[in-house]
Structure formats: structure tokens, C-alpha cells
Amino acid sequence: MWRTNLKVVGVVLGTLALYTLIANKIPQIQSEVPQSLSFGANVTSEQLVAAGDKLFNGAGGCTACHGLGTRAPNLVTDEKGAGPIGARCGKRETGKSCKQYLFESLDNPTAYVVAGYQPIMPRMTAQLSPPQIWSLIAFLESQGGTVDVTGSDIPAAATTSTTSTTGGGGLAGGSTDPKAIIAAAGCLGCHMLDGQGGKIAPDLTHVGARRSPDSIRKKILDPLSSIAKGYEKLAGVMPKSFGTMLTGAQLEALVRYLAAHR
């Protein structure tokens, strides 16, 4: 009997050791994730602007491109004599108010691309919750314009961020279907995969032929860990928050899926 028990204990310890080894091989990288927001119907413009300020200059990743004067238009400073974004957003597209234009820019960035710049911006409504989006719009309006975003602009059901997964279930409702994860993360806004998507970032159709699973995993968790040749100017565009937005199971499902694309 004691020999049988020892065998059982040995199998259990061996299994635990194997999983510990696998877990330790996954890079332990701290990803920055946009702070969850919750606003009531009586939220003030000052509160919205303050929240948007933190998002723009922090976890939103906006300053990776905006403000450099090369990748994307300046937003908080003058842009070619037209002033900051709040002073010019209402003049961009005929018939669109400032906040309508800004929402379109965040939801469908390729609908209107400012002359002289490439369509490299990802679809931010796939990465940020409605409260985050509208606080960001309020902040941008405050840059030389009038803030007219109110609590009524934020959908009543969207009281908190759905992109932060701290203690939650990840993107795409926690699904481990790689295609659902890719759609929810907005990957195809920049990357091409199996004939679909954008041409801003490297094509992922054969990514498994040039990157190992470990390299793919590290790139998702830490986008600046390696930069594909020819895409150096786009360094910093890919969000750094996927390590927090994805569950462990989703991350591994995505890595396996991409690694199989040879």
C-alpha cells in the first residue's frame, strides 16, 4: 500500500513541477492597463477632462504617436497653424461637430486621415470602454475648444470599463477562440492575417515561420521587446496592456494559434 501511495505522491509532485516550469517560462512582464472608470449621470466636464488627461498622457498610449509631429498630428499643441485639436476638430468634416469627429477618429480612424500622415492608428473603441472613450474626447475638446461631452453621451449600460481584466474574464467575454480574441483586441486594424486586416504593421499570416512561441508571447506582453525590421518608426504604437487584458488561457490560445501560422 505504501508503495502505491508513494507512486501517487510522485506523480502529483512531478505534475506540479512541470506546470511550475511552464509558468516560469512565461515572461513576468507588468503591462500598463487603462484604469477602469465609472461615471454617474451628473458627471461634470471637469471630471471627464481630468480622467481623459490621465488616459491620454498615461495608459492610453496616445503620446506614443501624437505630439511627436511625425507619426500623427499634434493634438495638445499647434498643428501647422491650425491650433490644438479642440480648436480645429469642428472644422475637419462638414456637418460633424467636434465630438462627433473625435468619436469617429477613435472608432474608425481610417475614415478621415489628416494629410501627410499614414493610417496607423488602431480602433480605440475596441480597446477602451465608453466611459474611457468619452473622457478622452472631453480632454481633447478642452485643448483649445469647448467641452460639450456630458453624462448623456455615455451609454447608460456602460458604467465601468470592460477592457480591464484585473480579476475579470478577459477580452471577448473570456473566450479562448483565437479569432474572437483577435477581433476583440482590434489586431486586424493594423495587422494582416489570412488575407484580412490592415497593412500598417507586420503581416501575421506566416508569423510562426519567423518567430518561436516564446517570441510571440513576449511580443504580445511587451511590444517593445523586439521591433520587426522596416517597422522601426512604428515602435510604441502597439498597446502595452494586452498582458492585463488577456487571461492566461487566452494568451496561450493566441500564442498557439499564431505559432501555427507558418
What does the buried/exposed string (b/e) look like for 106-141 if buried means 16 or more CB atoms within 10 Å of the residue's CB?
beebeeeeeeeeeebbbbbbbbbbbbbbbbbbbbbb
Q: Is the pTM of this model over 0.75?
A: no
Mutual orientation of helices 213-221 and 248-259 as an angle, nearest 10°?
Answer: 130
| Distance in angstroms (rounded) separating the CA atoms of residues 144 and 110 | 24
Interatomic CA distance for residues 35 and 26, integer angstroms: 25
- Distance of alpha carbon 132 from alpha carbon 48, whole angstroms: 9
**Residue at 151: amino acid letter:** G
| Cα–Cα distance for residue pair 145/138, rounded to 1 Å | 10
- Residues 209 and 259: their CA atoms lie apart, in Å, by 8
Q: What is the pLDDT along the chain (262 residues), one digit of tens a residue?
A: 556 655 655 655 565 555 444 444 444 444 454 556 667 678 899 999 999 999 898 877 788 788 877 778 999 999 989 999 999 999 988 999 999 999 999 998 888 888 888 777 878 887 788 899 999 999 999 999 999 999 899 886 554 444 343 334 677 778 999 998 988 887 887 899 999 887 888 999 999 999 999 999 999 999 989 999 998 877 877 877 788 778 899 999 999 999 999 9
The count of other CB atoms within 10 Å of the CB of residue 227 is 16
